């Protein structure tokens, strides 16, 4: 049973990593080289197509057997997803990569604080040691200049806050409703699309002269479809990883793609380092961060449990509904 659980967590982790890595490549290629000149427009188009893909998948298969998501949970989740995207893109645009990466790391202690007070989740000392080792290793990795502005720092902190709030709230929705990851994402996709349409509209009208160029070529259209499928895999694997582990495990797993891409860049371009001490510190940080991160997410916290044990949802058969189980505790002999 433990081996199956670890295998499931590892599968969700690798799916999230591959989807995030591929999605970033498609996004950068489309925005820098081809057709879409706005991140808000790009995200709206990709979200629309991913919603269509998910709807087609649900209609062609039996994926709608999980409990429904409450209406207020749909609205709040979609709104938090939209705010998460806005502050993510803004933090990338106004901060250096180092500042944005450290803001992303702050989501982990934020998530620990929010999860403790709202979900009453306690984390074991062994998990705290694992997270601390990971954070120390991540902070040792050098990327670029660490220049901070008050506005950029504020945006980065807001991004870290909404990132942790979104993860904890998704975990709370799963605990209360017992909904599956696919059903939850399909339920909030329409509201998320509405919020992103509003944000894209405000982005358009805020520009004095704004033009959208789009090349109707085969290659960029294929990239958009691939990006939409990867966005769907990214969001579903995110919710699945939270459901299989916890919001804290997801926040730790979210760093995997970031650190792995930095490791690839440092390996291919070692001249990035200015001193030998900087190179040794960075690779020692990788040696601490990456294994500890993967181990924490895959193995998980074996001593702590969710505040509510969730039974897998199974629709009642006609035989079950006609013959309800007897209450053995109240039988009269």
Torsion angle in degrees (nearest 10) through CA of 65, 66, 68, 72: -150
Mean pLDDT of the chain: 73
Q: What are phi and psi of 95, to 5 degrees?
A: -115, 155
Report whether pLDDT(22) > 70.
Answer: yes
Is 297 in contact with 252 (CB distance < 8 Å)? yes
CA nearest to 110, candidates 165, 35, 55: 165
Is 80 in contact with 188 (CB distance < 8 Å)? no
Report whether pLDDT(192) > 50.
Answer: yes
User: What is the tens place of the pLDDT at every residue in 65-96?
Assistant: 567 788 888 899 888 888 887 787 777 777 77
User: What is the tens place of the pLDDT at every residue in 297-307?
Assistant: 665 554 444 44
Is 179 in contact with 68 (CB distance < 8 Å)? yes
Report whether pLDDT(114) > 70.
Answer: yes
Residues in CB range of 53: below 8 A, 6 or more apart: 228, 229, 232
First-to-last C-alpha distance (Å) of the chain: 38
pLDDT category at 152 given cuts 50, 70, 90 is confident
Report whether pLDDT(320) > 60.
Answer: no
Report whether pLDDT(236) > 80.
Answer: yes
Is 241 in contact with 249 (CB distance < 8 Å)? yes
Sign of CA dihedral 166, 168, 171, 177: negative
pLDDT category at 328 given cuts 50, 70, 90 is very low
Global pTM?
0.74
Lowest mean pLDDT among 2-11, 30-39, 231-240, 304-313: 304-313
d(CA 232, CA 186): 10
Of residues 165 and 280, the one with the higher pLDDT is 165
Per-domain boundaries in the chain: 2-207+236-301
Per-residue model confidence (pLDDT) at position 308:
42
User: What is the tens place of the pLDDT at every residue in 260-316?
Assistant: 777 776 666 655 555 666 667 777 777 777 777 766 766 555 444 444 444 443 444
Report whether pLDDT(161) > 80.
Answer: yes
């Amino acid at each position: 049973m433990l081996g199956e659980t670890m295998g499931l967590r590892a599968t969700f982790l690798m799916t999230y990593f591959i989807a995030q890595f591929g999605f970033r490549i498609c996004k950068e290629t489309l925005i820098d080289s081809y057709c879409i000149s706005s991140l808000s427009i790009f995200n709206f188009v990709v979200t629309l197509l991913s919603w269509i893909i998910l709807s087609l998948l649900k209609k062609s298969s039996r994926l709608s057997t999980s409990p429904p998501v409450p209406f207020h949970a749909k609205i709040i989740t979609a709104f938090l997803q939209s705010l998460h995207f806005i502050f993510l893109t803004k933090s990338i645009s106004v901060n250096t990569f180092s500042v944005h990466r450290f803001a992303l790391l702050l989501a982990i202690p934020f998530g620990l604080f929010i999860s403790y007070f709202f979900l009453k989740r306690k984390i074991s000392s062994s998990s705290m040691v694992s997270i601390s080792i990971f954070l120390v290793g991540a902070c040792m990795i050098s990327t670029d200049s660490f220049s901070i502005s008050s506005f950029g720092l504020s945006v980065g902190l807001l991004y870290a806050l909404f990132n942790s709030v979104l993860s904890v709230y998704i975990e709370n929705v799963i605990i209360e409703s017992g909904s599956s990851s696919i059903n939850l994402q399909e339920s909030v996709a329409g509201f998320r699309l509405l919020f992103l349409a509003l944000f894209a509209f405000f982005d358009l009208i805020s520009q004095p002269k704004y033009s959208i160029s789009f090349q109707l070529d085969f290659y960029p259209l294929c990239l958009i479809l691939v990006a939409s499928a990867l966005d769907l895999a990214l969001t579903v694997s995110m919710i699945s990883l939270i459901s299989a582990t916890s919001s804290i495990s997801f926040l730790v797993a979210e760093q995997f793609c970031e650190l792995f891409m930095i490791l690839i860049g440092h390996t291919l371009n070692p001249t990035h380092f200015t001193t030998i001490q900087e190179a040794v510190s960075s690779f020692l940080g990788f040696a601490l961060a990456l294994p500890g991160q993967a181990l924490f997410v895959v193995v998980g916290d074996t001593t702590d449990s969710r505040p509510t044990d969730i039974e897998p949802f199974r629709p009642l058969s006609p035989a079950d509904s006609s013959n309800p189980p007897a209450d053995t505790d109240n039988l009269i002999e």
